[in-house]
Structure 1
């Protein structure tokens, strides 16, 4: 049959030769919209078709008539022929899983020996169901076989019963109604069951199903030495008689702390004082109470079903226990004490450090400025002294070849009225002698001094009397 279809396909559909299909995935309830340009290949008068390929034949879904557009009989498929742009458009709305299949848009021609459809575009449409469930929910799907990753868990010939193990194969069963319609049931769903499944009939996939299983979560806070109470809900019809457990998550395992059953916790459990689990099977609520809490009790816990040694999570609870405040303390005091104990800087410490650094920077700036001013004054004073020394030097006032010595400023303050000059050379009798007197000295007249005589001894007079000073 398959070989015959392959032979007839090019004959009935000349335009299908060498064509490949495009895969389009849509969820149920979605819309498919495609365009098929026909350019010069067809005239505007030729009818356009939207076909479902079945065994090499065109199962017509909708076609154009004298009008430029037309709807299908069910109203969910519409075809439009844009003769201006020479493009035919297909729209499928409210998609269903049974709409999955291979489609093509085409026009019919009589130009070949065997009239047939000229394919314009091939679409492989995959409409999938998207199912959202909570953990421990039950899933029902009308499906002859429940398959995943190339393996079918439940097939038509299977009639397994409910099991207490965690294997999906043992949690899935199949049931047939009076008309022989198969229904697959999957119980105690877990997050690890999320994935892509499909229903299959023999080797043919019929329906693709995208399953997403979410876990229920809670957040709880309590203080040291306090008490916390948690409520977890479950389906009464499915789990009223099951044993409920309270366990703490530790790595890949969950350590059981208390159960509703009379038996002690499982091998991976340890009873904890102050923990009680109460099951209200009439309301479908499990109430867990933990007393005398300590900071080390913070962590992740489960409300779970306990079946033999296996645990199935009902809800996940994150518990946070804070330290008790000291008498007369406040949350800020507690936080500061924790910062000190843990060595973590608080906001006040940060402010203090910032102020200290600012003060040190300001002091360094002031010190640098003061040193700069002092250095500038020292340079100015040194320059003045060099100028005074230049004026006092005899090289600037006496004749070349002579040197003089000025008396100290102390002598000037005592009001001395003369200046001694020692002339080393032998000036002539008519050589002039100059003496520089500062304006300050010229202005004042020391008492008891009217004039000063300076005499020089000739060589011949050196053996006689010494010069007289008055």
Structure 2
């Protein structure tokens, strides 16, 4: 029964009894995604009709998958063929179609079909499916797209690569020119090659720039109309860096690129002005070592390490008017192809200078120019921060030193007071004198300090007399057997010029 259904669905649309619909709205899906379609109909009793999902080619509806009866007249309402599944809800009167992992070659016209009898197919719903490629690239990357076309297409049929403008308009970028099968656009960036044996058109775009982003079509041109083979939606991302620096600073900027593709190309540093025109400030000149350098007197130098694939731009003695947007670019006179876009802000603020690079996913092999990184450009702000930190540390150390000196001074003064108290508050201490001197009477005892000089010697022998500074009234009434001699020590005023 399944074979019988397929044969029936291959009937020409012009056959009597075939009911076709005008194609509905276009369904656009990204390559690799899934399409889901629902077709409604009026439920039939007692037995449901067979349903199918078919692709319309040249007026023929070719079934991809369908439902049928089993040998026991049991209705099979679900079937899968490859990536296509059909399911029939006979109670609700709805057919569900699912197409998974769509590819660009799946683009075309499709219909839900119902078999009413052996001679009639009823097309319930018709759609136009467009499966497009979605591609992402970095600036300066290359793009290569292959567009296969129908084997019945004559080899001399013109093919073209055009850029869509509006819903239906498409401006030709490059096209085949027979007998030649290869043609380039201006700047030699886009080419088209037609492999008539393999029935494939190959499109190549080089040195991509952000303005190349858009929707492109591979098309066939016939005498009456244009037929789209494939749609490509291209997004090109630019690499960006941002710097903030101060006046009089020196700034170094690194621009990575692919040394294999562009090592031999002249590089330039330019500033973007009004109208997106970029004025060249410095460019490289070829040197035998592969190390190229050109200087703009006093301000900007550019250096190209073609072995590593890095352009280094150094700007000295920055000024406020140096703020703006710059490009590291390939220089193919008179054309500039941006490598990196740099935004520079010059101010007097003490801010850290940083570099940021926009990062997205690249579908090419990672290389030096696919890296995302952050670097620090020379700035006086770091010196200011270090100076402030040292000042704080030195201030803390100075305060601690002052506190220590004050503490030591207080301790020293207290120690002096205790020694003085020991001298005047302990008259009972005995000492041996080497010599004495009678001093004047302290009859004029003022607040001035009085001094007594005592010289100590080694302990006396038992035979030598011992002297004590006591008056006669203080002498013991019953002295001991040793000989004791008594003497008065009087205080003497110091001369006036010696007074403290």
| Alpha-carbon offset, residue 210 of structure 1 | 0.9
Distance 1:8 1:81, change over 3 A: closer
- Asked if residue 147 in structure 1 is aligned to residue 162 in structure 2, the reply is yes
Q: 1:250-309 CA deviation, whole Å, 9 max, x = no partner?
A: 11211111111269xxxxxx9453311111111221111111111221111100111112
Q: Does 1:260 find its partner at 2:284? A: yes
> Contact conserved, 2:301 with 2:315, CA < 8 A, in 1?
yes
**Over aligned residues, Cα RMSD in angstroms?**
3.0
Q: How far apart, CA to CA, are the structure 2 residues paired with 1:307 and 1:225?
A: 33
Pair 1:292–1:107, CA change in 2 (3 A): same
Distance 2:198 2:309 in 1: 35
Q: Which residue of 2 aligns with 1:204?
A: 227
C-alpha contact (below 8 Å) 2:48/2:90 kept by paired residues: no
Superposed, which structure 2 residues align to 1:326-365 within 5 Å? none
Q: 1:255 to 1:281 in 2, by over 3 A?
A: same
- 2:189: which partner in 1? 171
**1:198-237 maps to which residues of 2 (within 5 A)?**
198-202=217-221, 203-237=226-260
CA contact (8 A) 2:43 2:90 kept: no
Structure 1, gaps ≥5 residues long: 1-6, 264-269, 332-470
**1:65 equivalent in structure 2:** 68
Cα distance, 1:61–1:180 mapped onto 2, change above 3 Å: closer
Preserved CA contact (<8 Å) 1:78 1:92: yes
Could you say if the C-alpha distance between residues 161 and 148 of structure 1 is closer, same or farther in structure 2, counting changes exceeding 3 Å? closer
| Structure with greater proportional helix content | 1
1:127 is displaced (CA, Å) by 0.8
Deviation at 1:192, TM superposition (A): 1.7
Q: What's the secondary structure of 1:145's corresponding residue? A: strand
Check 1:225–1:13 CA distance in 2 against 1; reply closer, same or farther (3 A cut).
Answer: farther
- Alpha-carbon distance in 1 for matches of 2:137, 2:308: 21
Q: Partners of 1:257 and 1:182 in 2: how far apart?
A: 42
Shift of 1:22: 2.5
Deviation at 1:40, TM superposition (A): 3.8
1:93 to 84, 100, 103: 100
Note the C-alpha offset of 1:162: 6.3
2:271 to 215, 240, 248: 248
Write the distance in 1 (CA, Å) between the matches of 2:47 and 2:172. Answer: 49
CA drift at 1:71: 0.5
Q: Please report how far the alpha carbon of residue 237 of structure 1 lies from its aligned counterpart in structure 2 after TM superposition.
A: 2.8
Could you give the per-residue CA deviations for residues 57-86 of structure 1, whole angstroms, max 9, x where no partner exists? 1111110134210001x2x11000112212
TM-score (normalised: structure 2): 0.57
2:143 pairs with 1:125: no
Is there any run of 5+ residues in structure 2 with no aligned partner, and where?
Answer: 1-10, 70-75, 148-158, 165-169, 288-294, 351-379, 386-500
How many Å separate the matches in 1 of 2:32 and 2:182?
Answer: 33
**Is residue 9 of structure 2 the alignment partner of residue 16 of structure 1?**
no
Distance 1:155 1:20 in 2: 30
* Counterpart mapping for 1:43-442 below 5 A: 44-66=47-69, 67-72=76-81, 74=82, 76-110=83-117, 115-143=119-147, 145-149=160-164, 150-157=170-177, 166=187, 170-175=188-193, 179=198, 181-202=200-221, 203-252=226-275, 253-261=277-285, 271=296, 273-323=298-348
Contact 2:266 2:286 in 1 (8 A): no
Higher gyration radius (CA):
1
Classify 1:183/1:172 alpha carbon distance in 2 versus 1 (closer, same or farther; 3 Å): same
